[in-house]
Structure 1
């Protein structure tokens, strides 16, 4: 049994509810969360990790792709790389291997959906890197204090 929490606020709330109900061993939690808000649960063995991407990368991709679609420069089925997104993205961890983001690019599917690229799976092996982005101008300083 498990719960998929689909926003950064719900992972800690679901974890708290699970603890209050005393069902820690019965329910697994997976979801999208700011790593720091799930650190205690990871350290206590209550969850193995969380997923998060850079919100500004999604914004950059959206705006650049909109311009390129209007100009006819983003054909369906292509692998699309926005020149804006991914500049400050930390290394993505997928199944323990290191993948530089967005090395695979953003995929434009046949039904015109765009896949942003690999998320970062944060766990105890890399959670300390959440505060260690490659540059100081990533825009998240306010949230990392």
Structure 2
């Protein structure tokens, strides 16, 4: 996240106050962590065990479990098939885990097994990828569509100085998440501060590397005054970056969107891309672990409006249908990209 450095300008009193504030916040954090039962057994079940994104998310969960003194483990399949997670769920029920935190490979196939887990007193939290609501008590979601869409326009505006023509390079014309994000981008654009920015085209690369590459080329030819491209798809942003990296427009057309640090690192380092966004999967796993621990400790039951303490992520509130949102996406740039591996 962006580093907010607070420099202490004065000495004497401000330092004493700062010290007192630090002590009280530590004490209150300790009090809320003390509400959690000690030694909770919490198992994370990723979509597949060796996917770098999933590993980062699970590691975040294990860090949280260490913080509150639980007993955490990660078990799961090596392939992301719908039925591959079932045997792991059944084993975890037998082992009497207090909670299962799962990134579901299928919205419906796992529901009967997770229902059985809940019937036996095991708390179930989905994260990153949900089941139907009947299969779990809570769903920890990366970011809501509105904060993603609006955030993309806010970042682009910074990059192009608040004025000029820009295009969107999406996935397929019917991709639900892409279209929802684009709707929120268009909503954000209505604000007066973006009066000098103009969306000239929505292009579709169909989440295909080669087609996205060709679409980028087409945009630069069709719009010689183009100042920016937003690609809210990891395939699209990487393909567009590859095209721009050898184009005379490198450094003139600002490319941003949603991508992973590992695919975008080279393009950040060579100046093709200044900044892009995505949620931090480590924080997602961390939040899911705290949600599971609070459920298992009885401090929350999963009802809308309940809130709980999530360690370094602060107080969190449960929304509609048991959904908890991590928050706005993280912006990656030269200052922080090397801290991430997924």
Give the TM-score of the pair, scaled to structure 2: 0.25
Structure of greater Rg:
2
Bigger proportion of residues as helix: 2
